[in-house]
Amino acid sequence: MKKKILDLIKKKNKKKIVSLTAYSKNIASILDNYCDIVLVGDSLGSVLYSYKSTREVSLDMMIEHSKSVRMGIKKALMVVDMPHNTYRNSKEALKNAKLIMKKTKCHGVKLEGGKKIYETVKILVKNKIPVMGHLGLLPQSDKTFKFKGQKKSERDNILKDSQLLEKAGVFSIVLECVETSLAKLVTKGLKIPTIGIGASKYCDGQILVFDDLIGLNPMKYRFVKKYINIRNEISKAVLNYSKEVRKIKFPNKKNSY
Ligand code: KIV
């Protein structure tokens, strides 16, 4: 595990880090061939369960989806999001992070926030739990869902928080919806890699929600590029299947015992 994390950190300034989210085994087993990091994101709350926010995601949900993802992972670093209200203080965070690590056999956990979680991160790291940070737009607490870095105070805080998280021992930081010049500044100021989502090409790596990349999610976001419209492909396949069943073409002799 330590080696995987050190190898990831070594990629900074050398090779871009590729990352995607997965919520289940079959998808994870495909992503594992191409990704450095597979994240079981609490975005599963909105993507799979249509929750209004990730705040409704429970620890049990994260653990069950992560157990499925784990079965598809052989090479990549697997990180699991700690959901809302599972790291309100260091004691709670340590108990829940240990449970996630034990039940899912993941390689690390991700927590949202900066100064507020500094002591917590230090304690997790001291207990040999690798931690990934998350700054910029923080879906577990954000009210506006606007990109970050327009106001000077916001810029200063994100910059300071990134330094604090590094000091606390995180192995990398996700920067979500961060203005380009700020993402560049944060990335330059750190020894650990930054992983951007809506945070420009200047981050050390990139992450997207997999359902967005394949066009399964019909929503459109500026920071997403759809590499395939999988909804169309699925529609075509299901249409063919429905036609064949109705015309008694499927199942045929070959599909029967
Ligand atoms: O929950 C998630 O999927 C995430 C990524 C968008 C970084 O945190």
Q: Which amino acid is at 237?
A: A
Phi, psi (degrees; rounded to nearest 5) at 19: -145, 145
**Which residue among 39, 135, 142, 148 has the greatest number of ligand 1 atoms within 8 angstroms of its CB, and so is best to mutate?**
39
Task: State residue 39 phi and psi, 5-degree precision.
Answer: -105, 125
Asked if residue 241 and residue 137 are part of one domain, the reply reads no
Q: Do residues 116 and 143 lie in contact, with contact meaning Cβ atoms separated by under 8 Å?
A: no
User: Does 214 contact ligand 1 (Cβ within 6 A)?
Assistant: no
Structural contact between residues 67 and 108, judged by C-beta atoms closer than 8 angstroms: no
Residue 32, SS3?
A: coil
> d(Cα 77, Cα 38) in Å, to the nearest integer?
6
Q: What percent of the chain has pLDDT over 70?
A: 100
The SS3 of residue 257 is coil
| Candidate of 18, 21, 27, 217 to mutate for ligand 1, largest count of ligand atoms within 8 Å of Cβ | 21
Do 171 and 51 have their domain in common? yes
pLDDT digit string, tens, across residues 75-112? 999 999 999 999 999 999 999 999 999 999 999 999 99
Residue type, 163: Q
Q: Which helix (H) or strand (E) holds 248?
A: none
Beta carbon of 86 within 6 Å of any ligand 1 atom? no
Cα 21 to averaged position of ligand 1 atoms, centre (Å): 7
Beta-carbon contacts of 26 under 8 Å, excluding residues fewer than 6 positions away, are 72
Residue type at 41 in one-letter notation: G
Q: What is the mean pLDDT of residues 191-209?
A: 98
Is the domain of 131 the same as that of 240?
no
Q: Is the CB of 19 under 6 A from ligand 1?
A: no
Q: Using the atom order of ligand 1, give the atom closest to the CA of residue 174.
A: 7
In the predicted structure, residue 127 carries a pLDDT above the cut 80: yes
Residue 211 Cβ inside 6 Å of ligand 1? The answer reads no
Same domain? 207 vs 100: yes
Residues 244 and 183 in one domain: no
Which tokens belong to 11?
């990629």
Cα(250) to centroid of ligand 1, in Å? 40
- Same domain (yes/no): 165, 112: yes
Known catalytic residues? Answer: 176
| CATH number of the domain encompassing residue 210 | 3.20.20.60
DSSP one-letter code for 73: -
Among 18, 207, 221, name the best residue to mutate to test ligand 1's pocket (greatest count of ligand atoms within 8 A of Cβ): 207
In the predicted model, is pLDDT for residue 1 greater than 80?
no
84 and 14: one domain? yes
Q: How many domains does the chain have?
A: 2
CB neighbours of residue 178 within 10 Å: 31
- State the distance from the centre of ligand 1 to the C-alpha of 249, rounded, in angstroms: 43
Euclidean distance between CA atoms 58 and 256, whole angstroms: 43
> Do 101 and 158 have their domain in common?
yes
The domain containing residue 254 runs over which residues?
230-257
Whole-structure pTM value: 0.97
- Both 216 and 173 in a single domain? yes
- Are 91 and 120 in the same domain? yes
Mark whether 54 and 134 lie in a shared domain.
Answer: yes
Q: Which residue has the tokens 């369960």?
A: 49
Mean pLDDT of 161-183: 98
Distances (CA, A) of 153 to 66, 135, 170: 36, 14, 23
Q: In sequence order, which ranges of 105-172 are alpha helices (DSSP H)?
A: 118-126, 152-168
Number of the ligand 1 atom closest to the C-alpha atom of 176: 7
Which protein residue's CA is at the shortest distance from atom 8 of ligand 1? 41
- Tens of pLDDT, residue by residue over 32-81, are 999 999 999 999 999 999 999 999 999 999 999 999 999 999 999 999 99
What pLDDT, on the 0 to 100 scale, is given for residue 220? 87
Pair 132, 173: CB distance under 8 Å: yes
Considering the domain architecture, whether residues 211 and 242 belong to the same structural domain is answered as: no
Q: Structure tokens of 9?
A: 């950190």
